[in-house]
Structure formats: C-alpha cells, structure tokens
Amino acid sequence: LTPLQVEQLARVVDVESIDVFAFGLLTDFRSTLFPGAARLVEIADEVHRMQSIVLCWCGRPGFLNARIVEGLVIRSGEVVAIGDTQAGPVMYRALCRKHYVEGRTGR
C-alpha cells in the first residue's frame, strides 16, 4: 500500500461516504513504518492496534517482525527479501520489543 493509495482511500471515505477499514503490518524488519502504513496512521479517523495473536518465544506479544539470517537478527538491507539471499536463507519471526532489541531469537 502506497501513500498515494492511502490518499485515494481517504477520498473514497470523504467523497463517496464509504467506510474503509485497513489492517496489516505497520513496520518492516527494521522496526520502521512502511510508507503506506505511516500515511494511514497520519490521516486515519481512528487507529486501533489489534491484539497480537502471535507471541514472541517468551510469551509476550510479538509486535515486531525480525528478519533472521543464519540465526542472527538482521536490521539492515533491502526492505523486501524473500527466500535465499547472499547471506543465506531468510526467515522472519515475531519478537517482543525486548528480544528484538537484544537480538535474541529464542533458539
């Protein structure tokens, strides 16, 4: 979702009087807001954080998406990486903020 698409959705709400509900990931593996998500948060009439169903290995809500390569939490690189990279196979795991910052994957 791009910022332009978010603006288009806002026009649907304002001009057509149609409610729009959007949900998805707010941040990438670097814990940086996706551009479209940032724009949604900026202009939304309401923002509700959904209760996380995914838990970190410690049992806390896993709100952050960690990119893991060869057992290490990676915090730099291309935003989109699927499958194998030059550094090795890429995995993603939901972590709580504490373990994301510490780089602890629980394995």
List pLDDT tens digits, range 24-82: 889 998 989 999 999 999 999 999 987 768 899 999 999 899 999 888 999 888 787 66
Name the amino acid, one letter, at 40. Answer: L
C-alpha distances in Å from residue 37, one per residue of 70, 75, 79, 96, 100: 29, 19, 14, 20, 20
3-state secondary structure at position 103 = coil
Cα–Cα dist 94/15, whole Å = 38
Residue 35: φ, ψ to 5°:
-55, -45
Predicted confidence band at 83 (pLDDT cuts at 50, 70, 90)? low
Judge whether 37 and 6 are in contact, CB under 8 Å.
no
Quote the pLDDT of residue 87. Answer: 61
